[in-house]
Amino acid sequence: MEAKPTLMQLCRQLNLEAQKVADKAGLPLRIEYLMEIGAPVSRVHAVQIMTALSRLSSQLFTIEDVEFVEKPGSDRSGSTQGGELWQVK
């Protein structure tokens, strides 16, 4: 089984800056950066970040496509089951 890329790897591959992804997601840069470095983030924030990445790259990305650590006690209502995406500015 092939390892999933990290958010940092995807952003570098797509030539996207962290601040641009954070802005598109409507989140502080620190949340995007935490996900980039593999620190725990809420599922809701991860979905927002991956939706922003999808919009900026014109490719479909979900949390299932990237390595991320879910914050314990995270709200699981941000599921992307079935490929659905959340509305992001």
Has residue 42 got a pLDDT over 90? yes
How does pLDDT run across 62-81, given as a tens digit for each residue?
999 999 999 988 765 544 44
The whole domain housing 31 covers 7-65
In a domain, 78, yes or no: no
Based on its alpha-carbon atoms, the radius of gyration of the chain, rounded to whole angstroms, reads 12
Question: Can you give the pLDDT at residue 77?
Answer: 53
How many domains does the chain fold into?
1
Secondary structure (3-state) at 73? coil
User: For the chain, what percent of residues have pLDDT higher than 70?
Assistant: 82
Of residues 45, 46, 42, 44, the one with CA closest to residue 6: 46
Question: Can you give the pLDDT at residue 64?
Answer: 95
In a domain, 38, yes or no: yes
In a domain, 61, yes or no: yes
Instruction: Over range 7-23, report the average pLDDT.
Output: 97
Instruction: Over range 21-46, report the average pLDDT.
Output: 97
In a domain, 42, yes or no: yes
In a domain, 30, yes or no: yes
